[in-house]
Structure 1
C-alpha cells in the first residue's frame, strides 16, 4: 500500500531533522495531547458507548482517566528520565566514567486492540512521544467510532509526519507491517502477536507484545470472602470480561466454595441489577462472531449464576459456570467475555502443577492471608503480574511495569517503563 510507504518515509525524514529529540518539543507535544483529550472527552465517551456500550463512568475510569494519569506522570518526570545517567565503572578501568544515554528508536508503529481502544492506543503513544519518536497508530477496525475519533484527534493536534493514524481493515495492518519500522508495539491476541513478530523479524525490528492468556484467580480457605467476591466481580466483569488481564477462571477451596459463590451472586446483583439483560449500561460483546464463540460455552446446565444472553443486543449477563475441569472447552482458550468457570480444590498443589504446565498467564490473583502460600505461588508460578487480595489494580500503578511473559507477551510499559520501552539505552565509557 503506497500510503503506508509514503507515511513511513515522511516520518523518518522528519525524525532525522532532530526536532523530536528536543525535550521541550516532547513536553509541548504531551501537553497538546492532554489538551486534545480534554477537548474530545465527550466524543470519546460517546464513541465508547457506540462501539462497546460502555457507560460514561466505566469509559472514563478505565480509559480516559488512565491515559490522563500516564500523561501527567510523564510530564512530571520526563526531564529526569531523559537525563544521561552516570553509573559506576569497572575497577578494571580506574580512569573511566560510564554514562547511559537514552535515545529514541525513530519511527514507531502502535497497533491498538478493540477492547480498550482509546487507552491502548494513547497509552503507548505517550511513551513513544516522551522518548522522542515519531509514531503511526493503527486503531482496531472493530471499534469504528473510536478509530475515527482517534484519527480526528491526532490529525488536529499533530502534523502527520510526526504522529499519524492509519485506519483500515486487516489489509492496512499488513501493509504497515511490510514497512520497516524502528519499533513495533502491539496489543492483541497471541495468535496475531505471532504474525506481528514474524513480520518484525523480516526487518529485525524490536517489538513489545502485550497479549493475553488464561489468568487464574485463587481463593484460599482463609480469604476474606466478602472482599474476594467484590474484587473478583469488579475485575472479571469490567468491560463484560473483555479485558486481557481479567480473571479467566476461578480456583476455590472446597471449604468456602458455596459461601463465595453466594457472595458473588449478591455482588453481581448489587453492581449490575437484578436483570442484567435490561441494564442499558452493561457493555456489549464487540461483535456477533465473538458473541457466537462465547455462546458455545453457555450450552448445557452448568451455569451456577447467570447464563442468559441476547444476541440482538450482543449481550451476555455475568455468568459463573460449575462442573468444569481442565478438559472442558471453556478451559482451552482465553474466554475474553463475562463467563467465569469455577473449579474446587482441597489440595492446591496439583492445580499449581497444572497451571505451570500450561502457557504462562498474563495475570494471577490470589486471595489469602497465608504468607507461606503467597510466597509458594510467587516462586512456583511464572506469570506477567498480578495482585494478592485484589484483581487488576497492579496495571494502574505508574511504578509497576505491566506486561506478559512467554505466550502472554514480551516487554512491559507504564510509567517510566513506557519511556524506556521506546528508548535505546546507549552505553558510553569515557576515559
Structure 2
C-alpha cells in the first residue's frame, strides 16, 4: 500500500496521511525499537554508500557541479562517519542512565530511559543534499524511530537517487522518501509528527514551525545567518587566508550555512589580507576561476539573479577589489572580494549564500564584536583568527553563535563530540553524534520504590509538626529533621 501511495502522480494530504498511518502501525508493532533493527539499517546505509559512491558523486555534480572531493569527503564520508559512530556507541546510548535520588523519595532508585519519539519528519536542504538528508536520518534510526525524508526539489538528481537507494537498501516499512516541491511538503506538514527536523532558510522555517504548532510537535531548525570572520594582525596570514578560502569557496562556492559571510578586520591590515587572498585564490583556482573544475556552480538561475542583484547595487558595485566575473549561461560567479561595503547595503543585511565576501573595516580589532552584535541576530557560526589569548577569551564570552571556531572555519562540523545547531534566528536544537540520538529520543524519567519506609507524615490529617518535618526533608537538612522530630515529640 505504501509503495502505491508513494508512486502516485499527485502526493496530497490523503497520501501523506496514509504514509504516516502505515509508519505509526509499524512503530507501534515495535519494529524499530530493537538494537538489531537499528544496527541492520545503519549497516545497510553504509553498504548503500560504498556500493553507489560514483552514482552519488555524479548526482551531486548534476545538481551543483560539485567537485568530486567535496562530494566524497564533505558529504559521503561524513555520513559514513556518522553511521560508524552510531554503530560503535549505540548500545551505550540506549542503556538507561542511572540517576541519584534524594531523601524525599528514600528508599528508591531512579534511571533515565531513552525511548524513540515515534514517527519523525526530516526536511533537508539543496546545498548539501546528500549529507543534510541522511545525517539526521542516521540519528533518527539510531534512536529507534520511523522516518520520512523529504529531500529538496532544488537538487533533483540527488533527490531522485536518494528515493531509489533508500527504497532498495533500507526497510521500506519504516523509512520512506517523499519527493516533490511545495505541495508535497505542505501535505506532509499537515500531518502530526513526533518531531520535525528542517534544514533551510528562516522564511520556510516559520512555515514549518507554524504547522508543527498545530499539533504541538517539537522542531529542530537548522538555519543559517551571516557568519562573521574576525581577522587579527598577529597571525600566519597565508594559513589563515587558505582556511578562509576553504570554508568559503571550498564549501560549495559559498553556498553553505556555515560559510564565512563577511570579514571584519582593521583598516591597517585590510590591504595585506586582500593581497594574500588574491595570491591564494589564483593558486587554487587559476587566473580564470570561471573555468575551474574545483568550484561549484550557483544552484539555479534564481539564486544567480539574487547574487547578481547584491553585486549590482549602486553603493556596492564600486567596492569590488577582486573577482566579480560572471557566466550566466553556466551559472558561475568567480570568488569575489569587496572592501568597505556600507553596513546598510543588501549584501550586508541579507545572508549571501554564495561566492561574495565583503570586508568590513574597523579601527581596532576589538571593535569587531560591536559590528557582529549590532546586527541583532545570532549567526550559525563565527570565526576568529588571532594569537591573542585575551581576544580569544573575549570572543567566546561576547559573541553568541551556534558554534565558534578559532583559527579555522567550518571544521567544527566534523567533530561528532560537538553539537551542531543554531541559536536565535540561526535555529534551535542540535544534532551530530550522540546529540543526534538525543534529539530523536525522549528522556523518560523512571523512579522505583518498594513498600517499605512509608512516610506517614505525607498523609492527612496535616499538622504543624508534619509541615515542619516535610520542610526540613525538602531542604535536605538533617539538623532540621532532628529538630522537627524533637519538637514534634515534645508537643
What TM-score do you get using the length of structure 2 for normalisation? Answer: 0.86
Map Cα deviations across residues 266-286 of structure 1 (whole Å, 9 max, x no partner): 111111122111113320101
SS at match of 2:261: strand
Cα deviation code 1:251-305 (max 9, x no counterpart): 0122321111111111111111221111133201011010000012222222111
* Structure 2 residue corresponding to 1:204, chosen from 216, 219, 235: 216
Is the CA contact 2:396–2:404 (under 8 Å) kept in the aligned structure 1? Answer: no
The partner residue of 1:418 within 428, 436, 443 is 436
- The residue that corresponds to 1:265 in the other structure is 278
1:160 deviates by 2.8
Alignment of 1:11-30 (within 5 A): 11-30=23-42
Maintained 8 Å contact 1:7/1:161: no
2:200 maps to what in 1? 188
Instruction: Please point out which of 373, 382, 388 is paired with 1:356.
Output: 373
Instruction: Say if 2:68 is the partner of 1:56.
Output: yes
1:151 aligns with 2:151: no
Q: Does 1:305 align with 2:327?
A: no
Q: Distance in 2 between matches of 1:372 and 1:96?
A: 48
- Determine whether 1:285 maps to 2:298: yes
- Residue-by-residue CA offset, 1:113-171 (whole Å, 9 max, x unaligned): 00000000000000000000000000000110000000001110234320000001110
Q: Distance in 2 between matches of 1:134 and 1:59?
A: 27
2:178 counterpart residue number: 166
**8 Å Cα contact 1:386/1:392 also seen in 2:** no
Q: Deviations over 1:58-96 (max 9, x none)?
A: 111110010001111111100000000102222433312
Q: Deviations over 1:366-404 (max 9, x none)?
A: 001111111112111211002100000111101000000
Q: CA RMSD in A?
A: 1.1
After TM superposition, which residue ranges in structure 1, 4 or more long, deviate above 3 angstroms?
A: 348-351
Deviation, 1:320, is 0.5
Q: Partners of 1:95 and 1:190 in 2: how far apart? A: 50
**Distance between the aligned counterparts of 2:361 and 2:431, measured in 1?**
35
Matches within 5 A, 1:20-169: 20-169=32-181
Q: How is 1:338-417 mapped onto 2 (pairs within 5 angstroms)? A: 338-357=355-374, 358-417=376-435
Q: What is the rounded CA distance, in whole Å, between the counterparts of 2:73 and 2:151 in structure 1?
A: 20
SS at match of 1:176: helix
2:445 is the alignment partner of 1:427: yes
Among 230, 237, 240, the alignment partner of 1:228 is 240
Question: How far apart, CA to CA, are the structure 2 residues paired with 1:261 and 1:350?
Answer: 20
Segments of 5+ residues of structure 1 without an aligned counterpart are none
Partner SS for 1:64: helix
Can you list the C-alpha shifts for 1:150-194, whole angstroms capped at 9, x where unaligned? 000111023432000000111000000000111101000011111
C-alpha contact 2:227 2:381 (8 A) present in aligned 1: yes
Residue 295 of structure 1 corresponds to: 308
| Distance in 2 separating the partners of 1:343 and 1:90 | 55
Query: Is the CA contact 1:224–1:367 (under 8 Å) kept in the aligned structure 2?
Result: no
Asked if 1 retains the 8 angstrom alpha-carbon contact of 2:124 and 2:151, the reply is yes
Q: Is the 8 A contact 2:366 2:391 kept in 1?
A: no
Q: Which residue of 2 aligns with 1:327?
A: 344
In 2, the alpha carbon distance for the partners of 1:305 and 1:297 equals 15
Secondary structure in 2 matching 1:20: coil
Residue 63 of structure 1: SS of its match in structure 2?
A: helix
Counterpart of 1:176 (choices 167, 188, 211) is 188
Aligned residue pair count: 431
Alpha-carbon distance between aligned partners in 1 of 2:284 and 2:87, rounded to the nearest angstrom: 36
Distance 1:371 1:195 in 2: 42
Larger radius of gyration: 2
Q: Secondary structure in 1 aligned to 2:104? A: coil
